[in-house]
Amino acid sequence: MDVILTMKLIRRKFLPKIKQIVFVTLVICIAILSISAVNFYQEGDSGDYVKGAQLYYSWDHFFEVNEDLGKHPLWEGNSKSGIETWRCVTCHGWDYAGVDDFPGIVKSSNLTEAEILEWLNGNQNELHDFSNYFTVTAIEDITEFIKVGVTDYSEIFSEGELANENVDRTYGEELYKNECLSCHSVDGSKINFGTAANPLFVGDFGFDNPKMMLHIVRFGHLEINTGSESSLGWELRDSLSLVGYTELLPRGQRDGAALLDDFDYDDQGDTTDIVNLAIVLVIIVLITVSFVILRERGG
Ligand code: HEC
Ligand code: HEC
């Protein structure tokens, strides 16, 4: 078929439909854009605690801190060094109860917002000063996280293990299939956080560090718009059941603890581009599908 014929055909068959297609595409684009804009940053008077929870373990990643900050002034000893010693989670823990001799922040939800600010800007202790790095919004977010996200897990874990009465693993499996399977695959092996020789799967995190897994499940991933307890409307019990199920997934390591210790968020690539690409692909697919449908209808 030559070009002119094709053009004629397109004009005759599709021209009336083109307006419709453009309209549908526009609506879809606007919908997708507004959803991602809302998810990207929810600013409000009291901060976004989910964002705050992500800053808690990776604020340097968000602010793209590339300079070498050296060892945090409150960090003694040489067990860790560099930017890791600046992350809240390193000192206050995945269960917020404090690592080694560092104090917990479980009871800090009783502080007022002004008092929490005093802790973050060095007024309480000049060595505990993050004001050079944090934006006002980030301080609000992390304050909100301390007020409503930080939870006392002492009844939920015993000796680091999830206490059984808190989890329904069959229900957890269902949640895994709905929320995680698309990226991590049915057995959790699709994303390998280790190397080919020393693989590290989602099951390793669940088994070796259920408290970290709980934080990720409740508050979502860095820069990837996966669900969180607030967007999914989950109670703690939902999250716990999902964590319980991830403990059962196949692991890459027989003893993953050592490797998991070395796992560093900085090594994870910036996924913004991938997410944008995915959105563009979705739009292209939708346009193609609407074309096909309209064409079928047209005879
Ligand atoms: C290098 C370890 C370290 C890091 C990193 C760290 N803290 Fe702390 N944090 C401490 C220590 C030690 C104290 C107690 C200091 C004191 O008593 O003067 C403390 C105290 C606090 C308190 C007050 C606890 C209370 O209720 O009395 C809060 C809240 C807090 N930190 C939040 C954070 C947040 C949020 C971050 C990340 C932005 C963070 N910390 C990073 C070590 C750390
Ligand atoms: C949209 C795809 C996607 C979905 C859905 C998803 N993940 Fe992930 N997950 C990733 C990617 C990509 C990474 C790589 C780490 C990164 O860059 O943050 C990751 C990393 C992780 C990590 C390692 C810690 C971290 O933050 O890097 C854990 C644990 C994890 N996912 C658990 C889960 C669980 C549990 C679910 C379901 C609640 C889930 N993921 C849903 C894509 C996804």
Return the amino acid letter for 225.
N
**Ligand 2 pocket test, candidate residues 208, 221, 234, most atoms within 8 A of CB:** 221
Q: Tell me the sheet residues that pair with 129.
A: 121
CB distance 109 to 150 below 8 Å: yes
The pLDDT of residue 36 is 58
**Which residue is closest in CA terms to ligand 2's atom 25?**
221
CB distance 200 to 250 below 8 Å: no
- Taking the alpha carbons at both ends of the chain, their separation in whole angstroms is 19
Residue 102 alpha carbon to ligand 1 centre in Å: 8
Asked if residue 147 has its Cβ within 6 Å of ligand 1, the reply is no
Nearest ligand 2 atom, CA 223: 18
The pLDDT of residue 142 is 97
Residue 83 phi/psi, 5-degree rounding, is -60, -30
Continuous H helices in the chain: 3-40, 49-62, 88-92, 113-120, 136-144, 169-179, 181-184, 202-208, 210-219, 229-232, 236-246, 257-262, 272-297
The secondary structure element, H or E, covering residue 157 is strand 157-158
Asked if residue 202 has its Cβ within 6 Å of ligand 2, the reply is yes
The pLDDT of residue 274 is 65
Model pTM?
Answer: 0.79
Asked if residue 102 has its Cβ within 6 Å of ligand 1, the reply is yes
Asked if residue 75 has its Cβ within 6 Å of ligand 1, the reply is yes
d(CA 54, CA 222): 7
Non-local CB neighbours of 97 within 8 Å, separated by 6+ positions: 104, 106, 153, 154
Smallest CA-to-CA distance from 253 within 183, 206, 184 is with 206
What is the sign of the dihedral through the CA atoms of 259, 59, 150 and 125?
A: positive
Residue 148 alpha carbon to ligand 1 centre in Å: 17
Question: Which positions of the chain have pLDDT values less than 50?
Answer: 38-44, 266-270
Smallest CA-to-CA distance from 227 within 63, 35, 60 is with 35
Asked if residue 271 has its Cβ within 6 Å of ligand 2, the reply is yes
pLDDT in tens, 235-271: 999 999 999 999 999 998 766 555 566 566 544 444 5
**Which residue is closest in CA terms to ligand 1's atom 19?**
103
Other beta carbons within 10 Å of 78: 7
Non-local CB neighbours of 168 within 8 Å, separated by 6+ positions: 237, 241, 244
Which value, in Å, is the radius of gyration of the alpha carbons in the chain? 24
Smallest CA-to-CA distance from 106 within 154, 71, 67 is with 154
